Amino acid sequence: MYDFVVVGAGPAGSRFARRAADAGYDVLVLERGEVGTPLACSGHVSTDIWEFTPDGARDHLLQNEIYGARFHVGGSRSSEHPFYKDEVISNVIDRVGLDKTLAHAARDAGADLREEHSVTEVDEHGKYVDVTANTPDGTETFRGKMVVGCDGPVSRVRRELGLPEPKEKLQGVLGFAPKAHGGNFVDVHLTAPKFFAWRIPRGDAGVEYGLAAPPGRSARSLFDEFTADYDVETNEFCAGMIPIGPASSVTAHRGFLLGDAAAQTKPFTGGGILYGMTSADHAVRTINPDDPGTLANYERAWRKDLKNEIRLGHWVRRAYSLPKPVQTAGLRTMSGEIGVHMDRPTSLFSTEHLRTLLRRT
């Protein structure tokens, strides 16, 4: 019997598996397809990403360094409002390569990683949990002391455990223009309903275009309008759901959720790579697979760490729906050099940011 059966080998699942295996636990990871596919997430991340990857990962994953963002209230020809630092703010990385790198690290740490294993059932019992999956050789059931749902926004584990859904799910779409681009600013357009559209230069890997929209609006149609405004055609089109707002509980009797399955994401961007891996570290530190009572420690730990960031992130997102004149006036007033961290909206009140604002006055 395994200590943990992890469902999903994305960043949160692989991070948990690696750290749990390093801690001496017997870990099984089930990935429904091939690790890293299909792509359903942007590769624009903060520089903190390298704290969670094996040594040397930056050398083969980094695609571009970003120094700031240009915000637009309208389309590509609208006025731009730049926010920037005189140092690298964020990185653009090979997103598929990240998944593979983290999964290999988990396997190297001793986790049993199995691809092409699609979970169909999760049954909790008093002292163990049974996880059934369709495999290349037929149906197989694996037994563990706990199951870890890291299987994304539309989580089978969440449904099987009877846990509540995230408060909101947006439709996210991505496409790529293959022509190399040497810019080091992203473009953010406050044109998608209740969210935004983006353009990210990926160096030799081309340019990424994307947006997210609430249910009831055709994200693909909005995306086509957005890329047409830039007069580009994209390939490698992909789509997925973006969960926003964690539910009141992400733990059951012998199971818990991590990453997108738990909606451990930034409400103002939808990104969840760093929040999910941070929560994975909390889970390894606080959960004892022999004692279901320790799941409460995990709930407290990750919420204490991310609560204020998520709460303030919701307030930042509300600005996306303000009237255009108000958005324009606000962006014009606030644009310029900044001292904020892209994963931590609380850094708006940091000493670094306040000092930066004072230098601008």
> Cα separation of 356 and 361, whole Å?
9
Which CATH number is correct for 2-319, 3.90.420.10, 3.50.50.60, 3.40.50.2300, 3.40.30.10?
A: 3.50.50.60
Which DSSP helix (H) or strand (E) runs through 145?
A: strand 138-149
The pLDDT of residue 354 is: 66
What is the model's pTM?
Answer: 0.95
Number of Cβ atoms within 10 Å of the Cβ of 314: 15
**Position 357 pLDDT exceeds 70:** no
pLDDT tens, position by position, 118-156: 999 999 999 999 999 999 999 999 999 999 999 999 999
The pLDDT of residue 197 is: 94
**Position 348 pLDDT exceeds 80:** no
Contact (Cβ atoms closer than 8 angstroms) between residue 7 and residue 147? yes
Number of Cβ atoms within 10 Å of the Cβ of 199: 24
Amino acid at residue number 214? P
pLDDT tens, position by position, 313-345: 999 999 999 999 999 998 888 888 888 888 888
Q: How high is the mean pLDDT of the chain?
A: 93
Nearest CA to 279 out of 148, 95, 160 is that of 148
Residues 6+ apart with CB under 8 A from 348: 312, 340
**Strand pairing class (197-201; 185-189):** antiparallel
**Strand pairing class (2-7; 27-30):** parallel
If pLDDT is split at 50, 70 and 90, which confidence band does 93 have? very high
> Cα separation of 333 and 346, whole Å?
20
pLDDT tens, position by position, 229-276: 999 988 877 888 999 999 999 999 999 999 999 999 999 999 999 999
